[in-house]
Amino acid sequence: MTLVAPVATAKERHVRRPILLLRVTTDEGVGYGECDALETTRYAGESIDTAEVTLAQSIIPDLLKRGAEYSSLEEAVGSLSTQGAAPMATSAIEMALMDAALRARGRSLATYLEVSRVAIPAGATVGIGPVRDVLAAVNDVVASGIRRIKLKIAPDVDVVAVRTIRDHCPDVEIVVDANGSYTISDPSHRAALRALDDFGLSAIEQPLSAEDLDGHAQLVKELRTRILLDESIANLDRLDRVLDAGACTAVCVKPARLGGIFAARKARDRCLAAGVPCAIGGLFEAGLGRAAAIAVGALDGFDVAGDLGPSSRYFRDDITTPHKLFQGMLPVPMRPGLGVDVRQDIVDALTARSHQFLPS
């Protein structure tokens, strides 16, 4: 899928959004899942291509061989490791199995998860660029009704952009996301982070590298602004270490990166226990992944506004019925399964290749 507008971060520029779509047939019925690994391994160590290999060579053959042993959805999903080497591949198959089972039972994912909200506040990501372009992008977002901006920043493309947005849109919620591009030992980086502390930001996301938990703990002490960690939360073990180290005051939960919906709920549980609020993160998901993430983001504990926006911000034609904005909010899909229907004509037009796997 081609993104409506490319997104530039401190690390890379996203133009295309490859999607790996899964259709599973179980004893109960049919379900769809989506793998949200990105085009390269740079962000999560897993790319859409490595995820495809893992699914085709290991996860799917394993499920087909052992499928009959499982007596319930929970058991099948539980057998998929949440600490495995390929959480994004795992999350795709989990999503498809959940969709199939919940459709057959006439229950929505949101009901199954016992979410507490019917809609979540939408967010929009604005990439790095000349200040004039950033401001124009922010104005478009605000005009669409979205009240929450995630601005990508990097050293030297930070304070001026934030000040400009703040001056023009004093009421908008701003999170800045550095994608780990600052270094605590660099005096100019530290000065920039201190300057950002004065703009009433909702959070500074991942200022330092994923591994620098001590540095983040230091920033938690130094800055009034919430420190929201994203790349540092590579899995549940890393989340525990981050929480133990006091390295953040909010956690970005990306279901696909953690291994899926169940792993995301576990992450939320651990954050609730630690008194740290969550934000639902996005990875430019297509309609299925977005549906799953919206449901997770409607759980208790997701008290920091998240990344997710309407389908139209990312894709001209989503592979599902599009997620639409209502007064700045994204409704939680409430129909059975993930709550969205796959648009087969769009999928057919986009499909580069397909494989079928059958029990032997």
Q: Judge whether 254 counts as a catalytic residue.
A: yes
Q: How many residues belong to the site for Mg ion (CB under 5 A)?
A: 2
The answer to whether 152 is a known catalytic residue is yes
- Kindly state the smallest distance separating residue 122's Cβ from Mg ion, in Å: 16
Question: Least distance to Mg ion from the beta carbon of 232, Å?
Answer: 10
3-state secondary structure of 335: coil
Q: Please tell me which residue in 11, 150, 254, 266 is annotated as part of the active site.
A: 254
**In the range 15-44, which residues lie near Mg ion by CB under 5 A?**
none
Residue 285, interface with Mg ion (CB under 5 A)? no
Q: How far is the CB of 330 from Mg ion (least distance, A)?
A: 18
Q: Which is nearer to Mg ion, 98 or 204 (CB)?
A: 204
Q: How far is the CB of 205 from Mg ion (least distance, A)?
A: 5
- Rounded to a whole number of angstroms, the minimum distance from the CB of residue 133 to Mg ion is 20
Task: Retrieve residue 159's tokens.
Answer: 């304070």
Report the residue number, 307 or 318, with the smaller CB distance to Mg ion.
Answer: 307
Supply the minimum distance, in Å, between the C-beta of residue 227 and Mg ion: 12
C-beta closer to Mg ion: residue 54 or 209: 209
Nearer to Mg ion, 33 or 281 (CB): 281
CB of 46 or CB of 230, closer to Mg ion? 230
In the set 152, 221, 266, 324, the catalytic residue is 152
Applying CB under 5 A, the span of 114-122, 226-234, 284-292, 322-330 interacting with Mg ion comes to 226-234
Contacting residue, 230, 258, 314, 325, with Mg ion by CB under 5 A: 230
The partner residues of 114 in beta bridges, in order of sequence, read: none
Residue written as token pair 């899928």: 1
Burial class (CB in 10 A: 0-12, 13-18, 19+), 58: middle
CB 117 within 8 A of CB 141: no
Burial 180-205 (b: 16+ CB within 10 A, else e): bbbbbeeeebbebbeebeebebbbbb
Nearest 5 degrees, angle CA 109-CA 110-CA 116? 160
Say which residues have a Cβ less than 8 Å from residue 147's Cβ, sequence separation at least 6. 121, 171, 172, 173, 328
Residue 67: CB atoms within 10 Å: 15
Q: What burial letters (b/e) apply to 137-149, b meaning 16+ CB within 10 Å?
A: bbeebbeeebbbb
Q: What residue is closest to Mg ion based on CB?
A: 230
Q: Looking only at residues 133 through 192 of this chain, which bind Mg ion when binding is defined by CB under 5 A?
A: 177
Report the distance separating Cα 20 and Cα 177, nearest Å. 27
Binding region for Mg ion (CB under 5 A): 177, 230
Residues identified as active-site = 152, 254
